Chains A and B, each alone.
Chain A
Amino acid sequence: MKKSKYIGIFIREAEEHLEALRSGFLCLEKEGVSEVQLNELLRSTHTLKGSANMVDLVELAGIAHRMEDILKGLQNGEQEFSSDLIDVLLVATDAIEALMAQAQAGGGISVNVDTVVKALKSGSIAEEQAKTEVAPDYQGTERRTSVRASVERLDQLVNRMGEILLSQKTMAARQRQMTDLLHQLDSLTAHLRVAGDQSLQTFRSNMLGLINDFERDRLQLGYQAEDVYQRTMELRLLPLATVTDDFERSLRNLARNLKKEVNFIIQGQDVELDRNILDAIKPVLLHVLNNAIDHGIEAPDTRIRLAKPKAGQITLHAQYEGSFIQIAVRDDGQGLDPEKIRSTAVKRGILSTEAAAGMSDDAVIYLVFEPGFSTREFITDVSGRGVGLDVVKANLDQVKGNFTLRSELGVGTELILRLPSSMAIFTGLMVECCGETYVFPQHYIVEVLRISPLDILEEMGREVVRLNGASIPLNSLSQLLEQDQVVRVADRLTVLVLSFREQTIGLLVDQTLGLQEVVVKDLGCQLKSLEYFSGSTILGEGTPALIVSVADLFGASQRRQIRPLRATYEKEQKKAKRGRVLVVDDSITTRTMEKNILETNNYEVVVAVSGFDALDKLNAGSFDLMVSDVEMPGMTGFELTKKVRQREDTHNLPVIIVTSLASDDHRRQGMQAGAQAYIVKGSFKQGVLLETVETLIS
């Protein structure tokens, strides 16, 4: 007989019936016995019995038969309805599931059928029996239209696709380089006075055509790669239902054991998440829900006394929110008591009495997530081991999830998880600090501020900045990372405002470099132990960058004592008080000479080798003055000056032209372009340059 084939078909069929039975039983309990519902359930047990018999699963058929008897009894009034009865029926579904697993594995799993049948006959079940019947690790079956792929393989695929996406970005950088070359060619030909040459013109337009074609191909490749990438990512997604399906039963059991009445509502079960994330949040959700029943929802008589509905309500609501997924767990129980939490936290040595008193009620409730806060451990049937609330935090950190906890005493508690839908790609803000590029996941960033050192204030022994009326503790990335190089000087300091679990900190960085989609790569094993980083990525130009673990940073910023920031910056700024000058010249000799002159006179100098380079530098930082040559490849100093005038942020920037072009015509051109001063190199003397710079800056 083709037994295994039948078993396969039977199991798929039986899974559907089991699911219908379980939800039907729960529904009977919730909404009472209805004829329609009973008929449905009867048909399921009946079919299950018949099919099991046909494929020779006699014990399973026997259980289904007994269930059918009970349901028939309910239908004709011979059987009395009770919660105990529902328990028995649910245990029977577990037994059936175990038998299915046994049939599939070909033995090895013991199921005490007699006990279950006996329980079904008597209509009630003893506690210890109930426990022995839970199906161990039953894995379900795949639908026939799908194939199995290991997560590892999918990960490899995702990784490769990520790399293809990156190559596409690298190609964009190449294209820019080609365009730059073309500009250089233009200025060269202008220099050599062969601009009108026909063959050169043809060459140029061919080259331009090629660049355009390249761009088109690159973009197309990019779209396709993006598409394939998205689809590959989707392969890793599973609906939330895969974890929440079991919840209803286990919560119901818990509520019964604690003699509480709870209505449990799940919405948005079809929201899809990366399976790694699902694995990480399953214990979190179960834990939070268990907590809600155990500590949140009051006993029925208490609730009645408080004029609340007798049955408590717990909702789990999942929804998409942009590229994130938000899962909210709310209960209408007694809420968290900030005073109690304060005293417990102090008692457990988590923080001092003063520190506890200084915390707001909103902040204090987060202490329940601190390791060591709760001495009680829940045993979850997810992993079989005890999970404390601090594990909730650790799991969420692991998937870069953020959460907020709100509670109102006597009214209820709300926990909102914000999760990336995928762990492998996210939008990051590139940040430069001490010459290195770091990536911050965008969803932690509230705002990027530009402040002056004078905006750094001191409050209760901490340095803070003010934002929208609130004080935000300030920290410096370079100090946290212990890269104690000289702080970079600029009159405006860049501060990232990061939010993590409703706590906010400001973080000083050298500058921000814009947003970019990044593909997360694991840190190699030699870097695994690195503090503050959760992964790495390759930027468009092929340079690697570390991804900052915001969770770790928050931890560190609370522990670490840092050097006073305002004093440090002011000291640095004093040194550079005379201003920041951009020197543009294609000749290294002139550049270096001008730089030296200005630097010895306490100006901060940044050099640029071409007009394009100068514009890039202007984009990246602010300057008090620009000194530029005229004859440069690609873009002349006049053109550069015109561009500078047109830009909103630099149209007032004083410009000094330093050139060997001494004719009046050139002078006029310089002035027309918008330069404030024109110095001819022939007559170039230190004094003249310095004097002019000083005049223009002050």
Chain B
Amino acid sequence: MAKKILIVDDSPSVLAVLEDMLDDLGYEVTAASNGKQACQLLETIRYDLIITDLSMPVMDGIDFAQTAKQMPNCKFVPIVMLSSEEDAAKIAEAKRVGISTFLRKPVKEVQLKTILQVVLGT
């Protein structure tokens, strides 16, 4: 069965690109445009992996990761952060709240494939 991935980003272009890439790689993809929306999805659905942006309106990536990590459905789900953030302090904070991997935008398909294989063990 295809692994389920939740992607969270406020940019529709990023979502479109990611969705197609992941689709090509054979994953089942759901998209959310901010942390809050993603949390609502997490309440009922179990995902195998979450890819989130950092800076987003309503609820940003760090708040979202923190909240997600406390949800029973999500406690052990790896969260990958995909951002163009360069601020070292921000990245450190992200790691602290449970982000397993930090990817820099733009991401290439090969990069994504490798990382996902590592994180998901597929």
Seen from chain A, the residues whose Cβ lies within 8 Å of a Cβ on chain B are 2, 5-6, 9-10, 12-13, 43, 46-47, 49-51, 53-56
Instruction: Mark B8-21 against chain A: 1 for CB-CB distance below 8 A, else 0.
Output: 00111110111010
Pick the residue among A6, A9, A46, A53 that contacts B55 (CB under 8 A). Answer: A46
Known: A9-B12, A47-B10. A54 touches B53 (CB 8 A): no
Seen from chain B, the residues whose Cβ lies within 8 Å of a Cβ on chain A are 10-14, 16-18, 20, 53, 55, 57, 83-85, 105-107
By secondary structure, the B interface counts as loop
B59 to chain A, nearest CB (A): 13
A160 to chain B, nearest CB (A): 39
Q: Are B55 and A54 in contact (CB under 8 A)?
A: no
Chain A residues with CB under 8 A of B106: 50, 53-54, 56
12 A-B pairs with C-beta separation under 8 A:
A6-B13, A6-B17, A10-B12, A13-B12, A46-B55, A47-B11, A49-B105, A51-B13, A53-B105, A53-B106, A54-B105, A54-B107
Chain B residues with CB under 8 A of A6: 13, 16-17
Query: In the docked arrangement, what's the CA distance between A627 and B105, Å?
Result: 97
Chain A residues with CB under 8 A of B83: 50
Query: In the docked arrangement, what's the CA distance between A13 and B10, Å?
Result: 10
Known: A2-B20, A53-B106, A54-B105. A10 touches B57 (CB 8 A): no
Which 6 A-B residue pairings sit nearest by Cβ, starting from the closest?
Answer: A53-B106, A10-B13, A51-B11, A50-B84, A51-B13, A50-B105
Chain B residues with CB under 8 A of A47: 10-11, 55
By secondary structure, the A interface counts as helix
**CB nearest to B109 among chain A residues:** A1
Q: Are B84 and A55 in contact (CB under 8 A)?
A: no
Pick the residue among A12, A50, A56 that contacts B14 (CB under 8 A). Answer: A50
Known contacts A10-B12, A54-B14; 16 further A-B pairs (Cβ under 8 A)? A6-B16, A9-B12, A9-B13, A13-B11, A43-B57, A46-B85, A50-B11, A50-B53, A50-B105, A50-B106, A51-B14, A53-B106, A54-B106, A55-B13, A55-B17, A56-B106
B2 to chain A, nearest CB (A): 20
Chain A residues with CB under 8 A of B12: 9-10, 12-13
Q: Are A49 and B13 in contact (CB under 8 A)?
A: no
Query: In the docked arrangement, what's the CA distance between A352 and B88, Å?
Result: 78
B60 to chain A, nearest CB (A): 9
Q: Are B17 and A54 in contact (CB under 8 A)?
A: yes
B34 to chain A, nearest CB (A): 12
Known: A2-B20, A54-B106. A13 touches B55 (CB 8 A): no
B71 to chain A, nearest CB (A): 26
Q: Are A46 and B84 in contact (CB under 8 A)?
A: yes
Chain A residues with CB under 8 A of B13: 6, 9-10, 13, 51, 54-55
